[in-house]
Structure 1
Amino acid sequence: MAINPSSISTQNGIKNVSNIPKSIVSSVNLSDMMSISSDGEAAVYEKSDQTTASSKNTYTKDTVTLSEINKQIEMKLGSLRSTVENLFNVQSVKTGEAQGLSYEQIMEKYDGKLKEFYQNLKVDDSTRLTAQQEISADGFWGVKQTSERTIEFAKALSGGDPSKIALLRNSIEEGYKAAEKAWGGELPEICKQTQEATLKGLDDWANERN
């Protein structure tokens, strides 16, 4: 069951975008990318004193937007964690595997072989339908919403500073590499599409600043 996503979404059980989006079944846990302060200040763009010989731009991290995105993702991940735990426990009764593992313990137990874990996980029709809706074109973990949310997060994190685009792009690429390693093979197509859409969004942002 691939739900995606760093992620820089949380798709398919990715635990951390900073090293992972934290997306893989969870897709890139975007909220773990960097710590978020809660001083409540929105992003501000200011010009330096006009009397100075050369003006400098000041970019301030948009903690309000970061906090809001973080809350949305944590709410969705909470539901996802519960679903995975329940499915695992139900299946463990039949297979004799250890029961009562938390989502984090399951992710650790199957780190590097999440693909195998999810392919063998028995999923009921109701859960499958919900997952399909979540990763649909208009779903929370779908390509469009996940990539747009990631780009918004990146802009808020940098305070809109275009000089940080290359760094943000590199972080996203590294996050997907970490996700692929945790997944234990080539990521599902939806993850690839999400990464492409996210990187294109960063390129479009860079072009806007030129």
Structure 2
Amino acid sequence: MDLKINPINKDALKVYSNKDVKIKENKAKDILTNEVVYDKTDNVKNESTYAKIGKNNYKIDVNEIKRMQVELDSHIIKSFKLFTEDIMTSQGMGLKDALEYIMKNHSDKISNEQIEQAKEDVSEDGYFGVEQTSERILKFAKAVSGGDPSKIEILKQGFKDGFEAAKKAWGDELPDISKKTYDAVMEKFDDWENEANSSDESTN
């Protein structure tokens, strides 16, 4: 937000001036004492000046707020698109093809435990499975948007853009597991939106 502060009126600084501190001579004791003199006239004038400063110098720049909001939304879409592209490409690669390659070409160099772990990772409930992958995507969506449900539509757009970019990076259609993940993510977005709407209705 752009807060414009105009130069302070010099009259407003008079309260700090030496003329408001007057030195009186105590003739009876022949000593000097520093005594602060309260000047009602100057005080009223200064109060008026400060009131003027308070009214004129702090303005809400609506256009700047809108510009920053558009910039923020654009950043959210871009960040979420890149995250989606990365995670969907990783899932697509997935490790199914990698696992098949390893088992065909390097089966003598890996243990049965490693093979089983790889199988588990790409299973329905594994790390690269539909549920865990879609859950990670939604968690990132909430993190990058600050958990604001009003951003769901732009998050959906970022997700769709990232998914399409992952398809291009893959060179063809993504595997079925990625398509199922896409559907699961969109369903989770709908659940989040419905939950937010229900919460709003209960508070009204």
Give the TM-score band, short-chain normalised.
0.3 to 0.5
Which structure would you say has the larger Rg?
Answer: 2
Instruction: Pick 1 or 2: higher relative contact order, CA cutoff 8 A, min separation 6.
Output: 1
More helix as a share of residues:
2
Using the size of structure 1 for normalisation, the TM-score is 0.45
Using the size of structure 2 for normalisation, the TM-score is 0.46
